[in-house]
Amino acid sequence: MLYLLRIVLRTLAWLDLAIFTLLMVLLAIPPSSWLGKIYPSLFQSWCRCFVRALGVELRLHQHFLGAMPQHFILIANHPSALEDIGIPALFPVRSLAKHEVKNWFLVGKIAKAAGTLFVERESKDSRQAAQQALIEAVQTGDNIALYPEGGCKGRRIAPRFLYGAFSASLASGVPILPVFLHHEAQAQFEWQAGEHLLTKIWRMASSPNRVVHYHVFEPISPQQFTDKESFNQAVYALYLGWQQRFLD
């Protein structure tokens, strides 16, 4: 009986997502100025709806005293595709995503309308334009989320962090909010070579363990650093420590 109930609830969750997605696509058609700040709020609700349909449980752990900052540049490790909806489901942010996301079926239109910033990683000009867009977005009051590894690198931290988040923090004076992600079923969630997005969604939805931990650590003020290199190195060292703490 409980098994049948779970099937019914999951089916309703996917139906809810399908209807919500159609609505979001329709609302993405008019000019963005028509919806103002309404669409980003709807996008956060849509991300939560997507997470619920996958059956994923996001657990948020705050590892510092006091309230979360109102204005921040969120960075996180990036082991899977779930972050593209998991981070916006929990935090009011505009994300930086690879240019290919624009062409994802339905999702691309929604992400664009929600204010997602895009970058062609192989293009120097695109990276520079994205960096300037990041700084301008932060300076106008937006919260930004990006992944300093430069893409999905699997369950282990990449050998280096890119400088974009740290340059934007230094230029704007807005603190870095570091988040470390830990999937209990890492192998089910991380990207595999040549894996299609729909295959990845199915693997996540059918994983026997769909618990994901979002560890939020104390905001890091850029005033502590004089250059992006030292800022980058200090934060990278923290991530290596958290990797040892949560994954080793």
Convert the pLDDT of each residue in 93-112 to its tens digit: 998 877 777 777 778 888 88
- What confidence tier does 1 reach under pLDDT thresholds 50, 70, 90? low
Cβ distance 59 to 211 under 8 Å?
A: yes
Residue by residue, DSSP assigns the chain as: -HHHHHHHHHHHHHHHHHHHHHHHHHHTSS-GGGTTTHHHHHHHHHHHHHHHHHT-EEEEEE-SSSPPPSS-EEEE---BTTHHHHHHHHS--EEEEEGGGGGSTTHHHHHHHTT-EEE-TT-HHHHHHHHHHHHHHHHTT--EEE-TTSS---SSPPS---SHHHHHHHHH-PPEEEEEEEETTHHHHB--TT--HHHHHHHHHT-S--EEEEEE---B-GGG-SSHHHHHHHHHHHHHHHHHHHH-
Report yes or no: 93 and 86 within 8 Å, Cβ to Cβ: no
Per-residue pLDDT, averaged over 102-123, amounts to 80
**Range name among 60-64, 120-124, 167-171, 190-194 with the lowest pLDDT average:** 120-124
Residues paired with residue 98 on neighbouring β-strands, in sequence order: 119
- How confident is the model over 192-243, as pLDDT tens digits? 777 787 888 888 999 999 999 999 999 999 999 999 999 999 999 999 999 9
